[in-house]
Amino acid sequence: MVTNLSWKNTHPKTLRKIVYALNETTLNQLIEDHEDRGWSQASEIKEHGYGIACLMEFKRKV
């Protein structure tokens, strides 16, 4: 019997994306919408291009 001991099986899968907007009001609404869908905020809000942004993470079940 062969067991699957790959490193992929022991590490949780995490999706990451940058959520950005031109103003703080819009960004806060986007963050709320993503949190309602299971995403979590992974960084503080920072300047990004002409607007502001933050990193969001989604931990997928294996």
Which of 36, 4, 39 lies closest to 19, judged by CA?
A: 39
Distance, first Cα to last Cα, the chain: 22
The per-residue pLDDT for 13 is 82
* pLDDT of 4 strictly over 90: no
1, part of any domain: no
Number of alpha carbons in the 13 Å side-chain half-sphere of residue 38:
7
* pLDDT of 1 strictly over 90: no
**Model pLDDT for residues 18-43, shown as the tens digit of each residue:** 999 999 999 999 999 999 999 999 99
Which of 52, 1, 55, 59 lies closest to 27, judged by CA?
A: 52
49, part of any domain: yes
Total of domains in the chain: 1
16, part of any domain: yes
34, part of any domain: yes
**In the chain, how long is the greatest CA-to-CA distance?**
57
**Model pLDDT for residues 6-16, shown as the tens digit of each residue:** 766 777 788 99
54, part of any domain: yes
3, part of any domain: no
